[in-house]
Structure 1
Amino acid sequence: MHVPEQIPDHLDFVGRGWHPLLTRLHEQLVAVSPSYSVQQVKEKYGTLRIHLYTGMLRHLNLGNTDWPDPDQAARYKDEDDAARALVHAAEQESARTCEACGNPGVPRDRAWIKTLCDDCAGHR
């Protein structure tokens, strides 16, 4: 049986300050899409970017070539919509959370954009 890579397998791709946010997102995702899998977790322009396989994408990514029946397609859509809303909320929260320590932060434009608190921004 294929065990999908999920968010806990990708924590090292971003700063420790976002780990609690991602752990909470994982718990929320498991409730709406237990077998979701991660395509990518990264930081871009100072915020999280999370790309997942849920619902229909997961179905197709597993090599299924058949289109699901209408009832299953509707369940996939509901799963995809719920997962997308959770990811969007987490990405928005990351813009207010210091990637280094988890305290409140703001995007700071230097050589690259990083969301940092005043203390962590002073150390960089």
Structure 2
Amino acid sequence: MRDDLTQTLYNDFPALYTGMCWGFETGNGWYQIIRCLSISINNIIASASLDPSQFTAVQVKEKFGLLRVYISTTNNAIQDAIYHAVQESSRTCEMCGGPGVQIARGGWMRVSCEPCEAERVRIRRKDTRRYNRRDSGTMEVE
């Protein structure tokens, strides 16, 4: 996730994201899902008069094409909120945030829309051609 989006989440939800070592390991497209989840978790904690310092995110990432959120302490309401965020990620392009579908290619699963997937494939092919040219001893000029 872009640094500015990461910093906004850290600033807006300092108690929730105080213990994350690796930052947000997702594409920018899931920012809104993570933001809504953060608001839900804060509301759950506040409405139950719980200590916010007990509920810190340990890791927020993509795994097997879906959003994964690991919290140090949780309850049923927070687990339900996380479940709904994961379900939303299954139909949201991780790169742009538009409607997406789950794609499994080359051993990797992801949620992508058609334009973002086409761009990803185009860049990957270009990088593969560049790598193959370097490997064969020829030089590429761009």
Please report the TM-score for the alignment, with normalisation by the length of structure 2. Answer: 0.62
For structure 2, the 5+ residue unaligned runs are 1-13, 47-51, 121-142
For 1:32 and 1:53, the matched residues in 2 are separated by 15
CA positional deviation for 1:11: 5.9
Q: Which sections of structure 1, spanning at least 5 residues, go unmatched?
A: 56-79
TM-fit CA distance, 1:40: 1.2
Q: Please identify runs of 4+ aligned residues in structure 1 that moved more than 6 A.
A: none
Match of 2:59?
40
Say how many residue pairs are matched. Answer: 97
Identity of aligned residues (%): 33
* 2:111 aligned with 1:92: no
Amino acid at match of 1:90: A
User: Cα deviations across residues 7-61 of structure 1 (Å, max 9, x unaligned)?
Assistant: 9x67631100000110011001001125120111110111001111235xxxxxx
Which residue is equivalent to 1:17? 29
Higher relative contact order (CA 8 A, sep 6+): 1
Pair member with larger Rg: 2
Kindly indicate whether the alpha-carbon contact (under 8 Å) linking 2:92 and 2:112 is maintained by their aligned counterparts in 1: yes
Shift, 1:4, TM fit: 3.9
